[in-house]
Structure 1
Amino acid sequence: MSGLSLVLLTVLMVASGQMTQTLYVPAMTDMADALLVAKDSLPLLMACYLIPYGLFQFIYGPLSDRLGRRPVLLVGLSIYVLGSGLIVLWPSYPMLLVGSFIQGAGTAAAGSLCRSLMRDKFEGTALVRYNGYVSMGIMLAPLLAPLLGGYLNQHFGWQSMYLFLLLLGLSCTVIIFYCFKETLPVERRHQQSILPAYLHVLHSHAFCRQLGMLMAAFAGVILYEAEFAVVASQHATLTSRELSVLFILPLPLYFAGAMLAAITAGRWSVARLQWVATISLLLGAGVILVSAFEAELSLVGLVLGGGLYFAGAGLLFPVATSAAVEPFARHSGSAGALLGGCSNLGGGVFLLVQGGLPQMNQSVLGGLLLAFAGLTLWLLLPAHHALPEPGL
C-alpha cells in the first residue's frame, strides 16, 4: 500500500469520528428546544462521546500490536454504526447520551490507530511529514461538518444529522473491509500483555512530555468547540447557519498549521516547530481573553483568537505525535493509544467538570485556554525530544 493510499484510508476511517464531534454544534440550541432540555446541557453530549473515545483507545492500541490493525479497525467501526443506529431509531436525549457513548467507544479504534498506521510505514522526518498530511486531511471533516450540520438541521431537522452519521459509518466500514491492507506484519507483532506494554512506553520521559503537551493543547481545542455556540450566542442572536460559518472560520488555520509541519519537516527542528506552535497557542488565548472586555470586538476576538489557537494546535499535534511514537516500532499501537486515549479522556473529563462550574463566558474561556497554553509552554522548556534534530 502506497503512502498516499494509506493517508487517504486513515483520513476516511477517522472522518466519521471527527464529524460526530462537531456536526451538531450549530444545531445545539434547536436540539435543546426540541428535546426539552437546557441549552447548557448539550455540551454533555461531547463529554459522553470523548470519555469512551479516550478509554477504549487503551484497549484497541495494545490489541492491534498483538492481532494486527485491520481486525481491530473493523470491530470499532461496527460498534460506531450500532451507536448511530440507536440514535436514529430512538431520538431522545437519554438515547443521545447512550448512543454518543457507543459511538465514541467504536471510533476509538480509528482514533488510536491513525497514529500507529503512520509509524508502521514511516520513521524520522518522513513520519512528521505524513502525520502532517493526515492532520490536514482529518481537519477537512470538522471543517465541513458544522456547515453540513447547520444545513441538515435547518432543512430536515436535527435527526437527519445522525442518519447521515449512520450512513457515513456504514460506508467507511465497507470501504475499509475491501480496501485496507494490513500494515503490521506478523514478525513485528508482540505478545506482551497490556500493562507491561504501557509501562514500557511510559518509561520514556520524553514521551511523557510530548503526551502532556498534546493533552493540554487538545483540552483547549475541545473546550473551544464545545462552548463556542454558547459563548457566541451571548454576543448576538445568530441562526444555526450563521453559527456554523463562524465556528469553521478558525479551522482552516489548523489546516495551515498541519501544512507547515508537513512542508518544513527535515528543515526545521522539532524544537523550533513546537516553539512556534506554543507561541501561537498563547497568542490565541490572549486575544480571546482581552477581547472579552471590549463588547464591540468580543465576537471578532473570539473567532480570531480561536484561529490562532487552532493554528498552534494544528502545528503541534503532528510534530508532538511523531516525536512521541518514533522510538516505539513494536509498541506503536500502545504509544498511539496513550496519546489519543489520554488526550480525549482528559478532554471529556474536563468538560464534565467544567459543566459543573458557573456559566461559561468569553473571559472564562480565554482564561482557561491561556492556562492550557501555559502548561504546554512549561512542558516544552526541558527541550528533550525523541526525534533527531535536523536542520536549524
Structure 2
Amino acid sequence: MSGLSLVLLTILMVASGQMTQTLYVPAMDDMAIALQVANDRLPLVMAFYLIPYGLFQFIYGPLSDRFGRRPLLLLGLCIYVLGSALIVAWPVFYILLLGSFIQGAGTAAAGSLCRSLMRDKFSGSDLIRYNGYVSMGIMLAPLLAPLIGGYLNQQFGWQSMYVFLLVVGVLSTAIIWRKFSETLPLASRHTQPMLPAYQHVLHSSSFCRQMGMLMAAFAGVILYEAVFSVLVSQQSELSSMEISILFILPLPLYFAGAMLAAIKADDWSIYRLQWTATAALLLGAALILMSAFEPELTLAGLVVGGGVYFAGAGMLFPVATSKAVAPFAQHSGTAGALLGGSANLGGGIFLLLQGMLPQMDQIILGGLLLSFAGLTAWLLLPDNKALPEPEM
C-alpha cells in the first residue's frame, strides 16, 4: 500500500467521526425546538460524543499494538454504524445522547490509529509531512459537514443529518474492509500489558509536553465549535445555512496551517514550527477577546479570530503529534491513543464543565482561548523551565 493510498484511507476512516462532530452545529436551534429541550442543552451532544471518543482510544491503541490495526479499525467502524442507526430509529433527545456516545466509542478507533498508521510507515521529516497531509485531508470533512448539515436540515429536517452519517459509516466500513492492508507486521508487535505500555510512553517528559500542547489547543478548537452557533444566534438572526457558512470560514485556515507545516518540515526546526503555531493561537484568541468590546466588530472578530486560531492549531497538531510518537516504533498505537484520547476526553469534560457556567459570551470564549494558547506557550519553554526530565 503506497503512502498516498494510506493517507487517503486514513482520511476516509476518520471522516465520519469528524463529520459527526460538526454536521449538526448549524441546526442546533431547530433541533432544540424539535426535541423540546432548551437551546443550551445541545452542546451536551458533542460532550457525549467526545468523552467516549477520548476514553475508548485508550483501549484501541494498545490493543492495536498487539493485534494489528485492521481488526480494531473495522470493529470501531461497525460500532459507529450501530450508534448512527440507533439515532435514526429513535429520534428523541436521550437516545440522541446515547447514540452519540456509541458513535464516539466506535470512531475512537480511527481517531486513535490515524496517528499510529503514519508512524508505521514514515519517520523524520516525512512523518511531519504526511501527518500534515492527513491533517489537511481530515479538515475537508468538518469543512463540508456544516454546509451539508445546514442544507439537509432546511430541506428534510434534522433527522436526515443522521441518516447521512449512517450511510457514510456503512460506505466507509465497506471500503476499509476491501482496500485497507495491515500496516503493523507481526515482527513489530509486542505483548506488553496495557499499563506497562502506558508507563513506558509517559516516562518521556517530551511526550508529555507535546500531549499537553495538543490538549490545550484542541480544547480551544472544540469550545469554539460548540458555542459558535449559540453566540452567532445571540448577535444576529441568521438562518442555519448562513450560520453554517460563517462556521466554516475559519476552517480553510486550519488547512493552510497544516499545509505550511508539511511544506516547511524539511526547512524549519520543530521548535520554530511550534512557536509560529503558538503565536497564531495567541493572536487569534486576542482578536476574539478584543472584538467582543466593539459591537460593530463582534461577529467579524469572532470569525477572523477563529480563523487565525485554527491556523495555529492546524500547524501545531501534525508537528506535535509527529514529535510525540516518533520515539515509539513499537508503541505507536499506545502513544497515539494517549494523544487522541487525552485531547478528546479532556475536550468533552471541559464542554460539560463550561455547560455549568451561568452564561457563555464572546468575552468568556476569548478569555478561555487566550488561556489555552498561553498554556501552549508555557509548555514550549526550555525543558528546565517547563517540565524537566525526571532523574533516572
Give your verdict on TM over 0.5. yes
Residue aligning to 2:186: 186
Report matched runs for 1:156-167 at 5 Å.
Answer: 156-167=156-167
CA positional deviation for 1:358: 1.4
Report matched runs for 1:1-392 at 5 Å.
Answer: 1-382=1-382
- Counterpart-to-counterpart distance in 1, 2:318 and 2:217: 12
- Counterpart-to-counterpart distance in 1, 2:67 and 2:255: 33
1:60-103 deviations in Å (ceiling 9; x for gaps): 00000000000000000000000000000000000000000000
- Counterpart-to-counterpart distance in 2, 1:286 and 1:29: 28
CA positional deviation for 1:383: 5.7
Contact 1:62 1:194 in 2 (8 A): yes
CA positional deviation for 1:235: 1.0
**Aligned letter for 1:215?**
M
1:304-332 deviations in Å (ceiling 9; x for gaps): 00000000000000000000000000000
Contact 1:261 1:315 in 2 (8 A): yes
Q: In structure 2, the residue corresponding to 1:182 is in which secondary structure?
A: coil
Contact 1:271 1:383 in 2 (8 A): no
**Aligned letter for 2:249?**
L
CA positional deviation for 1:147: 0.3
- Counterpart-to-counterpart distance in 2, 1:298 and 1:233: 13
1:276-321 deviations in Å (ceiling 9; x for gaps): 0000000000000000010000000000000000000000000000
1:77-136 deviations in Å (ceiling 9; x for gaps): 000000000000000000000000000000000000000000000000000000000000
Q: In structure 2, the residue corresponding to 1:183 is in which secondary structure?
A: coil
Q: In structure 2, the residue corresponding to 1:165 is in which secondary structure?
A: helix
- Counterpart-to-counterpart distance in 2, 1:268 and 1:182: 32
- Counterpart-to-counterpart distance in 1, 2:363 and 2:147: 27
- Counterpart-to-counterpart distance in 1, 2:229 and 2:79: 29
- Counterpart-to-counterpart distance in 1, 2:109 and 2:344: 13
**Aligned letter for 2:217?**
A
1:199-241 deviations in Å (ceiling 9; x for gaps): 0000000000000000000000000000000111111111000
- Counterpart-to-counterpart distance in 2, 1:311 and 1:137: 15
Q: In structure 2, the residue corresponding to 1:234 is in which secondary structure?
A: helix
- Counterpart-to-counterpart distance in 2, 1:40 and 1:367: 20
- Counterpart-to-counterpart distance in 1, 2:130 and 2:383: 23
Cα gap change, 1:383 to 1:283, in 2 (>3 Å)? farther
CA positional deviation for 1:272: 0.4
- Counterpart-to-counterpart distance in 2, 1:277 and 1:39: 34
State TM-score, norm by structure 1: 0.97
- Counterpart-to-counterpart distance in 2, 1:359 and 1:37: 17
- The count of corresponding residues between Structure 1 and Structure 2 is 384
Superposed structure 1 runs of 4+ greater than 6 Å apart: none
CA positional deviation for 1:266: 1.1
Q: In structure 1, the residue corresponding to 2:183 is in which secondary structure?
A: coil
- Counterpart-to-counterpart distance in 2, 1:16 and 1:58: 20
CA positional deviation for 1:196: 0.2
- Counterpart-to-counterpart distance in 1, 2:293 and 2:267: 41
**Aligned letter for 2:19?**
M
Residue aligning to 1:389: none
- Counterpart-to-counterpart distance in 1, 2:221 and 2:120: 28
Q: In structure 2, the residue corresponding to 1:237 is in which secondary structure?
A: coil
**Aligned letter for 2:244?**
S
Q: In structure 2, the residue corresponding to 1:233 is in which secondary structure?
A: helix
- Counterpart-to-counterpart distance in 2, 1:131 and 1:39: 37
Query: Any stretches of 5+ residues in structure 2 without a counterpart?
Result: 385-392
- Counterpart-to-counterpart distance in 2, 1:99 and 1:367: 33
**Aligned letter for 1:58?**
F
- Counterpart-to-counterpart distance in 1, 2:210 and 2:20: 26
- Counterpart-to-counterpart distance in 1, 2:371 and 2:382: 19
- Counterpart-to-counterpart distance in 1, 2:266 and 2:193: 36
- Counterpart-to-counterpart distance in 2, 1:94 and 1:296: 39
- Counterpart-to-counterpart distance in 1, 2:234 and 2:361: 8
Query: Any stretches of 5+ residues in structure 1 without a counterpart?
Result: 385-392
The CA RMSD measured in Å over matched residues stands at 0.6
